[in-house]
Amino acid sequence: MSGNLIASTARKARKLTEEEVHEIEHEMELYPDKKAVGLEALKIVQKHQGWVSDESMQAISKFLEIPVSDLESVATFFNLVYRQPVGENVILFCNSVSCWVMGCESIKSHINEKLGIDFGQTSEDGKFTFLPVPCLGDCDKAPVMMVGDDLHRNLTHDKIDELILTYRKSKQVE
């Protein structure tokens, strides 16, 4: 390990969990170099920690031996890598053209009102983070959004009310 190279920042790194290390090592087998695993490592850490903290960035950088600045240039580029804490449920709200034609603006206002948050914000109870997402590729069932890994289609105000109730109760709809 090139420990000296990053000694000045390394003390801020948290320790990756065994699970995280195991999953990142599995990805390393699939690519010819470590740099290619950067995004996968960010996603793995996020899956376990909920988001990617500075300490996690340092840890991944150290583990993959890639500069934290390179990693940051990837982390800040992608919509689905979260560099701030997010709520238990991330709402990925499609506001691209088909959903717009089908009235997603009104659905968005309804969510704004119900949860008291706009894009980029997390509800006070920590249950929801509300984010826009580029076209979700389900345009014949517009308006659509994802909550966590689940896709919800043909959205109406009533459907939003139901979904909010359900997700308030449980972390994931099975």
Of 1, 2, 3, 149, the residue at the interface with other proteins (CB under 8 A) is: 149
Per DSSP, helices labelled H in 36-122 are 38-49, 54-64, 68-75, 97-101, 104-115
Q: Which of residues 67-96 bind other proteins (CB under 8 A)?
A: 70, 73-74, 77-81, 92, 95-96
Distance CA(45)–CA(50), nearest Å, equals: 8
100 lies in the site for other proteins, by CB under 8 A:
yes
For residue 6, CA distances in Å to 13, 24, 59, 63, 74 come to 10, 20, 11, 11, 19
102 lies in the site for other proteins, by CB under 8 A:
yes
Q: Which of residues 5-44 bind other proteins (CB under 8 A)?
A: 30-33, 35-40, 42-43
Comparing CB distances to other proteins, the nearer of 43 and 127 is 43
Instruction: Please give the size of the binding site for other proteins, defined by CB under 8 A.
Output: 43
